[in-house]
Amino acid sequence: MANSKTVLVTGGAGYIGAHTCKELAAHGFAPLVYDNFSTGHPDFVRWGEFVHGDIQDVPRLTRLLLEKKPLGVLHFASSIAVGESVEKPDKYYRNNVYGTLCLLEAMLTAGVRDIVVSGTAAVYGHPDEVPIPESAPFDPASPYGCSKAMVERLLLDFETAYGFRTAVLRYFNAAGADPEGEIGERHEPETHLIPNIFRAACGLIPALKLFGVDYPTPDGSCLRDYIHVCDLASAHRLALEKLVGGQKKLRLNLGTGFGYSVKEVIEHARRVIGKPVPFKVEERRAGDVPALVARADLARKTIGWIATRSSLDSILSTAWRWFEKDSLKKVTL
C-alpha cells in the first residue's frame, strides 16, 4: 500500500475536490473520484478514474478501497449550504456526520488509515478572538457548522481507537478558479458572494443582496477571509504527504489572515470586470458574524503551506474568466 499513488477523493466532482484532483495529478498522484453527483458535475472529473457512488454505501466503498488500495483519502463529499442546513438539519447530519462515519468504517475494514477532511471556519461560530486561532472553542451557529464539528470529534475517536492519521483543514471563504480555465465554481443554488456579484453585474439577477451594513466593521459590511481554491488544493496535497510521512494529526486553518469587507469585494470586482455591480441592502442574515478571519501561520509552520494565489486580484480575475466561460456562455447560446 505504501507504494500506491492512488488517492480516493470523495466529492471530487465538486468545486474544491476537482481543483484538488488537478493538483494531485500534477504531482504524480492518481486521483480516484468517488461522487454521487448530487451537487457535482461530470465535466469536472478530468483527472484520474471515476466511480459513481454514495459515501453512505459502506459495502461499495469497502470493496473499492480493498480493490484499489489507495494510500489515503481526501474527503470533500458533504452538503454545504448553511441556510439549507437550518431548514433541513436531518439532511446535514445524515450526509455529513453519518456519511463520514460510513467512510471511516469502510476505511477501517480495508486497512486505509490516512484521511484529510474538509473542515470549515463555521465550527467557530461567533469567535471571541479575531484573527481566529485553531485553538478557539467550537461554537457553531448552524446545523452545517455543527455537523462539521461532529465530524472532527469522530476523527479524534478513530485516531485514538484505531490509529487513524487525520487532518482537518478548516477553510475560510473558498473562492477563485483554475487559472487555466478548465474548472471553477458552479453551485446551484449559488450562495457565495463572488459568483453572485458577477451574476448581478451581468444582469442574471436583478441585484446582489448585501446582508447588513450595520456591523461593527470599518464600513459596516461583514469581513471575510478569501482563499483561492488552488491554494486549498495545494494544502490538501501537502497535508496528505505529511500524514503518509507519519504525522498523526493536523488541525489547520486555511485562510490568508486578512479580511475584506463585502463592500470592498464589490468595489474590487467592479474594477476587475469593468462593470457596475447593482446591489440592494437587506437586513442582517441570521447566523452571519461580523468578522471571520483566520490566524493562518500554523499551516505554514507544519506543512509548509503558503497561499500564493489568494490576492483579491487573482481570486477575482480567475473567477471572472471562469464565469464568462461557464455561465455567460450558457446565457448567450
Ligand X SMILES: NC(=O)c1ccc[n+]([C@@H]2O[C@H](COP(=O)([O-])OP(=O)(O)OC[C@H]3O[C@@H](n4cnc5c(N)ncnc54)[C@H](O)[C@@H]3O)[C@@H](O)[C@H]2O)c1
Q: Is the peptide bond before 89 cis (omega within 30 degrees of 0)?
A: no
Residue 161 β-bridge partners: none
Joined together, the cell numbers standing for residue 57 give 454505501
Grouping H, G, I as helix, E, B as strand and the rest as coil, residue 291 is strand
Q: Is 23 in the site for ligand X (CB under 6 A)?
A: no
- 40/290 with CB nearer ligand X: 40
Q: Which of residues 187-216 bind ligand X (CB under 6 A)?
A: 187
Per CB under 6 A, the list member of 9, 13, 21, 319 interacting with ligand X is 13
Is residue 310 at the binding interface for ligand X, with CB under 6 A as the rule? no
Long-range contact set of residues 214-220: C-beta below 8 Å, sequence gap at least 24 = 214/284, 215/284, 215/290, 215/291, 216/290, 217/261, 217/290, 217/291, 218/261, 219/261, 219/263, 219/264, 220/263
Q: Tell me, residue by residue from 107 to 146, as one string, x for binding to ligand X by CB under 6 A and - for no binding.
A: -----------x-x--------------------------
Q: Which residue, 31 or 99, has its beta carbon nearer to ligand X?
A: 99
Q: How far is the CB of 174 from ligand X (least distance, A)?
A: 3
Binding of residue 38 to ligand X (CB under 6 A): yes
Cβ nearer to ligand X, comparing 46 with 275: 46
CB of 13 to ligand X, least distance (A): 4
CA distance 68 to 71: 9
Determine, following the binding rule CB under 6 A, whether residue 173 of this chain makes contact with ligand X.
yes
Q: DSSP code of 188? A: S
Q: Does 176 bind ligand X (CB under 6 A)?
A: no
Name the one range near ligand X by CB under 6 A: 11-19, 83-91, 106-114, 208-216.
Answer: 11-19
Question: Which residue in 93, 124, 144, 171 is the catalytic one?
Answer: 144
Cβ proximity to ligand X, 71 vs 315, nearer residue: 315
Is 103 or 303 the residue whose CB approaches ligand X more closely? 103
Nearer to ligand X, 53 or 220 (CB): 53
**Rounded distance between C-alpha atoms, residue 287 and residue 12, angstroms:** 28
User: Minimum Å distance from CB 246 to ligand X?
Assistant: 26
How long, in residues, is the chain?
333
Torsion of CA 68, 69, 72, 75, to 10 degrees: 40
Q: Helix crossing, 143-162 with 99-110: angle to 10°?
A: 20
DSSP state of 225: -
Cis bond upstream, residue 131 (ω within 30): yes
Among 6, 11, 64, 208, binds ligand X (CB under 6 A): 11
Interface residue with ligand X among 82, 174, 250, 277 (CB under 6 A) is: 174
As measured in angstroms, the least distance from the Cβ of 294 to ligand X is 11
Examine residue 55 and tell whether it contacts ligand X (CB under 6 A): yes
| Cell numbers representing residue 303 in the block | 506543512
The Cα-based distances of 46 to 21, 74, 139, 266 in angstroms read: 8, 17, 38, 32
C-beta of residue 9 within 8 angstroms of C-beta of residue 32: yes
The question of whether 144 is a catalytic residue gets the answer yes
Shortest gap between Cβ of 121 and ligand X (angstroms)? 7
Q: Which helix (H) or strand (E) holds 325?
A: none
Q: Which is nearer to ligand X, 97 or 208 (CB)?
A: 97
- Residue from 25, 37, 268, 288 binding ligand X (CB under 6 A): 37
Question: Longest C-alpha distance within the chain, in Å?
Answer: 56
Binding footprint of ligand X on the chain (CB under 6 A): 10-11, 13-17, 35-40, 54-56, 76-78, 80, 95, 99, 118, 120, 171, 173-174, 187
